[in-house]
Amino acid sequence: MSTLQCLNQVQAKTYFSVLQFGACADGKTDNNKAFMAAWNQACNSLGENGVLIPTGISFQYIDQLMINGGGSLDGEGASAWPLNNCSKDPNCPPLPVSMRLDFVTNSRISSITSINSKNFHFNIFACKNITISRIRISAPEDSPNTDGKHLGSSTDIRILDSVFGTGDNCISMGPGSKNININNVHCGPGHGISIGSLGGSQMDADVTGIIVRNCSLVGTSNGIRIKTWAPSYPLLVSNLTFEQIKLRNVSNPIFIDQQYCPSRTCDQKSSSSVKIKDVKFTQMWGTTKSQVAINLQCSKSTPCERIDLNDINMGYIGQGKGPKGPISITSSCANVHGVASGKQHPSSCL
C-alpha cells in the first residue's frame, strides 16, 4: 500500500451507531452500556470518527448524568435547513435536536462544542438541578430554529461561562422555567436571550426566578426579550433580573412584546392574559441599531407591574437623519407601571 493510500485510509470518517452495540429506542431499555461501547470504539479507532445516534433516542429519566471531555456534536444541519418550512407550515415535521435531555436530574454538562444543529442545539425539558458550563455553540446567522439552548418545564438550571453563536435565540426559556441562573455567557450572532413565547397553551406553567448576569450580546437581532402571545391563556411571569449586560451593535436591546406575532394573520386587537411583574433591568449599556432602544409593550387587559430600569446607557449607531438633524434614540412604553433610577439614556418612558 502506498503512503497516500495509507493516509486516505486513516483520514476516512467512520460512524459507530449505538444500534450496533445493542441500543434500543423503545423508551424502556437502559442504553448506557451501548452508548459507552460506541463512544469507546470511536475514540480508540484511527481516523476521524463519530458516534451516530439515530432518530428516536434521547437522554431520559437519568440521575447524575455527566457529559464532558472536549468533544463536538456535529449536527450537519446544512443538509436539512433548506427543508425547514415551519415558518409557512404549522404542521411541519420537526427536525432532530442535537442533544435532548428529558427528566434528567442532578447532572452536569461541560466542555463540549455543538456545531450546525438541524434544529435546537440543546433542548432541556422537565429537568432539575443541571449545571451547563464551558459550552461553545456555532451555527450560521441565517440557519433556521438553531436555538443554542431551549429550556422548558425545568427548575434549578445553571448556564455558565459559555459562547453561543447561532441562527436563533442563544438561550430561550419557555413555559415552566423556574430558578434559572445564566452567568458569563457571550451571545452573537443570534436572536438574543429570550423568555417565551408564553401563553399559547392552556398547559403552559408560570415562569419565575430568572437571573441573567454578566453577559454580553454582539450583533444580535434582539437583546433581552420577553414575548407572549395575544390572545393567550393566563400565566404569571415574575421575579426576573437582568444585570450587568453588555450590548454592542444589537437591535431591540430591551424588549417586552405582549403582542408577539411572527405571522401576519394575527389579530392585532387581541390582548394577552399573561401577567408580567417584578422585572429588573440593571446596568445595561452598549450600542443599538434600533431607534427605540427600550420598548415595553405590555398587555391592555393585563398591564406589566413593578418594572425597574436602573442605570441604562445605550448609544445609537443606526443610519439616517430626521427633519431636525441626526436621529436620537427613544424609549416607548404602553400599559406598564414601574420606576426608573440612575442614568437613563435614552430617557425613560416609565
- Show the 3-state SS of the chain: CCHHHHHHHHHCCEEEEHHHHCCCCCCCCCCHHHHHHHHHHHHCCCCCEEEECCCCCCEECCECCEECCCCEEECCHHHCHHHCCCCCCCCCCCCCCCEEEECCEEEEEECCEEECCCCCCEEEECCEEEEEECCEEECCCCCCCCCCEEEECCEEEEEEEEEEECCCCCEEECCCCEEEEEEEEEECCCCCEEEEEECCCCCCCCEEEEEEEEEEEECCCCCEEEEEECCCCCEEEEEEEEEEEEEEEECCCEEEEEEECCCCCCCCCCCCCEEEEEEEEEEEEEEECCCEEEEEECCCCCCEEEEEEEEEEEEECCCCEECCEECCCEEEEECEEEEEEEEEECCCCC
Active site residue 191: yes
Which entry of 121, 150, 191, 337 is annotated as an active-site residue? Answer: 191
Spatial separation of the C-alpha atoms in residues 99 and 18, rounded to whole Å: 15
What are the grid coordinates assigned to 246, written together?
453588555
Residues recognised as catalytic: 191
